[in-house]
């Protein structure tokens, strides 16, 4: 039996109007795709990568192996990207049968896996003549990752009636980005084939990739129906909390080693510190305070600093930097960084971090 979570009213006429504003989206998408393609071509030409006039080249066995390895590696990434899409739409289609925790976890997994695919792609070194094709591929994975990243916070905001109009547009844009990535992938396949032909490798192909499950998701009425359906079964359980990501700490001057539980940093005239703050709840948070307390051996009064994060979405991390702290070479120093707490904070044990450090003489 589906898990019931209470009821909710369908979108008001005003909200429905929001969903009817994008009837020209397909034309806009086509124009965007053309602009992106033209940009890639220009950049590739300026970088000396454009090789239309180059004669076919006789390949050595090593070069053939390099190309084969490249095609295999790309195929693995594309297959993973396809699988991520299947899991994403499985979550959407089974929305009524999943708990809020399961939905949130599934969408978080989608974002993380998509990010890894994109990072692996940009770290690859394509063989000669395949640079343009790989530029298209990087763009495909980048757009897909952004579509998943924007969908999750928008969905939970809609379910809580937070920034409803903006969030529902963001959901629609996520599906548009998926469609756009599918169209650009076709250009990647074409460029891959052309690169092979330049090297006298005929019929060089790679698996298809279409992550937008159905073009119906480009329809405003379908999105309106989907959101209304979601809200009719969702009793959203709010969970709020921010955390200091301890492993993200970064000093300037940089850390050179660690001695007796003290981080040793290079000598400098000032100290700057940056650290990531993560929203571990399922609600967007605004004006989140981040405080730093700076204690120094022999100094009676600690220095205190504060900054605010204007907006941080669920699962998002934002970097906060404190600049211009006074340097005390060879003295024991301690900083305490505290994020939040936000209203109704669920967990307070991860809101702060303490770091001991000393600057070189």
Write the pLDDT tens digit of every residue in 9-44.
Answer: 444 544 444 444 554 555 666 566 666 666 655 555
CA gap 122, 142 in Å, rounded: 9
Q: Is the pTM of this model over 0.75?
A: no
Position 273 scores a pLDDT of 97
Residues 69 and 185 in one domain: yes
The answer as to whether 1 is a domain residue is no
Same domain assignment for residues 88 and 208: yes
pLDDT at position 109 over 50:
yes
Packed helices 220-233 and 164-198: angle between N→C axes, nearest 10 degrees:
130
Cβ atoms of 157 and 284 closer than 8 Å: yes
What CA dihedral angle connects 163, 166, 167 and 173, to 10 degrees?
A: -170
Overall domain count for the chain = 2
String of b and e for 230-268 (b: at least 16 CB within 10 Å)?
Answer: bbebbebeebbbbbbbeeebebebeeeeeeeeebebeee
The answer as to whether 259 is a domain residue is yes
What's the confidence (pLDDT) of residue 40? 59
Q: Give yes or no for a contact between 337 and 291, defined as CB atoms under 8 angstroms apart.
A: yes
Q: Give the number of C-alpha atoms closer than 13 A to the C-alpha of residue 131, restricted to the C-beta side.
A: 14
Mean pLDDT of the chain: 85
Which of 236, 191, 184 is closest to 50 using CA atoms? 191
Does residue 154 fall inside a structural domain?
A: yes
CATH assignment of the domain containing 279: 2.60.40.10
Residues 281 and 170 in one domain: no
For 270, the domain range is: 242-359
Q: Do 262 and 160 have their domain in common?
A: no
Domain match, 93 and 165 both: yes
Query: CA-based angle 80:81:82, to the nearest 5?
Result: 90
Q: What is the pLDDT of residue 220?
A: 85
- Give domain status of residue 6, yes or no: no
Q: What is the DSSP string of 273-303?
A: EEEEEEE-SSS-EEEEEEEEEEEETT-SS-E
Same domain, 323 and 228: no
Considering the domain architecture, whether residues 69 and 134 belong to the same structural domain is answered as yes
Shared domain for 222 and 113, answered yes or no, is yes
Q: 56 versus 114: which is more confidently predicted?
A: 114
Does residue 256 form part of some domain?
yes
Does one domain contain both 167 and 48?
yes
Q: Per-residue pLDDT averaged across 177-186, rounded? A: 96
Kindly tell me if the per-residue pLDDT of 94 is higher than 80.
yes
Looking at the structure, tell me whether residues 133 and 258 fall in a common domain: no
Q: What is the pLDDT of residue 3?
A: 43
Supply the pLDDT for residue 54: 45
Q: What is the pLDDT of residue 346?
A: 81
| Co-location of 227 and 288 in the same domain | no
Residue 63 within any structural domain of the chain = yes
Q: Is residue 114 part of a domain?
A: yes
Cβ 268 vs Cβ 241: under 8 Å: no
Residue 2 domain-assigned (yes or no)? no
pLDDT at position 57 is 58
Is the domain of 224 the same as that of 140?
A: yes
| Rounded distance between C-alpha atoms, residue 166 and residue 79, angstroms | 33
Name the residue with higher pLDDT: 7 or 175. Answer: 175
Last residue of a domain, one of 165, 198, 233: 233
């Amino acid at each position: 039996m589906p898990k019931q979570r209470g009821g909710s009213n369908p979108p008001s006429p005003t909200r429905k109007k929001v969903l009817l504003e994008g009837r020209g989206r397909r034309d806009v998408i086509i124009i965007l795709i053309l602009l992106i393609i033209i940009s890639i071509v220009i950049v590739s030409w300026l970088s000396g990568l454009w090789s239309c006039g180059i004669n076919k080249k006789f390949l050595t066995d090593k070069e053939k192996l390099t190309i084969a390895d490249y095609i295999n590696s790309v195929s693995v990434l594309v297959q993973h990207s396809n699988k991520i899409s299947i899991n994403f739409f499985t979550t959407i289609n089974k929305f009524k049968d999943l708990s809020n925790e399961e939905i949130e976890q599934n969408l978080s997994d989608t974002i993380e896996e998509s990010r890894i695919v994109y990072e692996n792609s940009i770290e690859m070194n394509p063989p000669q003549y395949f640079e343009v094709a790989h530029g298209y591929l990087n763009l495909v994975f980048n757009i897909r990752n952004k579509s998943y990243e924007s969908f999750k916070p928008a969905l939970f905001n809609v379910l809580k009636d937070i920034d409803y109009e903006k969030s529902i547009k963001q959901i629609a844009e996520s599906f548009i980005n998926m469609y756009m990535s599918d169209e650009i992938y076709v250009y990647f396949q074409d460029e891959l084939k052309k690169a092979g032909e330049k090297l006298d490798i005929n019929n060089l192909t790679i698996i298809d990739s279409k992550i937008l499950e159905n073009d119906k998701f480009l329809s405003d009425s379908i999105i309106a129906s989907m959101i209304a359906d979601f809200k009719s079964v969702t009793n959203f359980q709010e969970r709020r909390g921010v955390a200091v990501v301890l492993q993200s700490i970064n000093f300037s001057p940089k850390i050179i080693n660690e001695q007796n539980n003290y981080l040793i940093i290079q000598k400098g005239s000032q100290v700057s510190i940056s650290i990531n703050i993560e929203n571990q709840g399922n609600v967007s948070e605004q004006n989140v305070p981040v405080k730093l307390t700076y204690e120094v051996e022999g100094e009676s009064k600690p220095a205190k600093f504060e900054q605010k994060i204007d907006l941080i979405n669920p699962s998002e991390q934002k970097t906060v930097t404190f600049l211009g702290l006074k340097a005390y070479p060879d003295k024991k120093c301690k900083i305490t960084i505290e994020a939040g707490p936000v209203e109704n904070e669920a967990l307070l044990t991860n809101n702060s971090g303490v770091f001991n450090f000393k600057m070189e003489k």
